[in-house]
Amino acid sequence: MTQSTAQILDGKATAAAIKAELTTRVSALAAKGIVPGLGTILVGSDPGSTWYVGGKHKDCAEVGIQSIRRDLPEDISQEDLLKVVQELNENPECTGYIVQLPLPKHIDQDVILEAMDPEKDADGLHPMNLGRLVANVNGEMKSPLPCTPKGCVELLRRHDIDLKGKRVLVVGRGVTIGRPIGLLLTRKEVNATVILAHTGTVDLPAELKQADVVIAAAGVPHMIKAEDLKPGAIVLDVGVSRVDDGNGKAVVTGDVDPAAADVAAWLSPNPGGVGPMTRAMLLANVVESAERQAGIA
Ligand X SMILES: Nc1nc(=O)c2c([nH]1)NC[C@@H]1CN(c3ccc(C(=O)N[C@@H](CCC(=O)O)C(=O)O)cc3)C=[N+]21
Catalytic residues: 56, 100, 123
Check residue 276 for interaction with ligand X (CB under 6 A): yes
Check residue 150 for interaction with ligand X (CB under 6 A): no
CB burial string 30-60: b at 16+ within 10 A, e below:
eeeebebbbbbbbbbeeeebeebbeebeebb
The length of the chain is: 297
Per CB under 6 A, the list member of 168, 257, 275, 286 interacting with ligand X is 275
The DSSP call for residue 259 is G
179 is in an annotated binding site: no
170: exposed, middle or buried (Cβ count in 10 Å: 0-12, 13-18, 19+):
buried
Per CB under 6 A, the list member of 101, 161, 196, 220 interacting with ligand X is 101
Window 122-141: residues binding ligand X (CB under 6 A):
123
182 is in an annotated binding site: no
Interface segment toward ligand X; rule CB under 6 A; list 131-139, 204-212, 229-237, 274-282: 274-282
When the beta carbons of 143 and 278 are compared against ligand X, the nearer one is: 278
137: exposed, middle or buried (Cβ count in 10 Å: 0-12, 13-18, 19+):
exposed
d(CA 289, CA 297): 9
When the beta carbons of 16 and 28 are compared against ligand X, the nearer one is: 16
CA 25 to each of CA 18, 55, 138, 188: distance values in angstroms, whole numbers, following the listed order: 11, 21, 24, 27
Per CB under 6 A, the list member of 14, 129, 143, 278 interacting with ligand X is 278
CB of 250 to ligand X, least distance (A): 9
Window 225-254: residues binding ligand X (CB under 6 A):
240, 252
172 is in an annotated binding site: yes
Residue nearest to ligand X (CB): 275
Check residue 99 for interaction with ligand X (CB under 6 A): yes
CA 265 to each of CA 33, 120, 132, 133, 268: distance values in angstroms, whole numbers, following the listed order: 46, 38, 34, 30, 10
d(CA 237, CA 252): 12
Check residue 255 for interaction with ligand X (CB under 6 A): no
272 is in an annotated binding site: no
Per CB under 6 A, the list member of 60, 216, 279, 286 interacting with ligand X is 279
Q: How many CB atoms lie within 10 A of CB 237?
A: 29
Yes or no: say if 167 and 230 are a contact pair by the CB < 8 Å rule.
no
- Chain residues in the site for ligand X (CB under 6 A): 52, 98-101, 123, 147, 240, 252, 270-272, 275-276, 278-279
The binding site for NADP(+) consists of: 172-174, 240
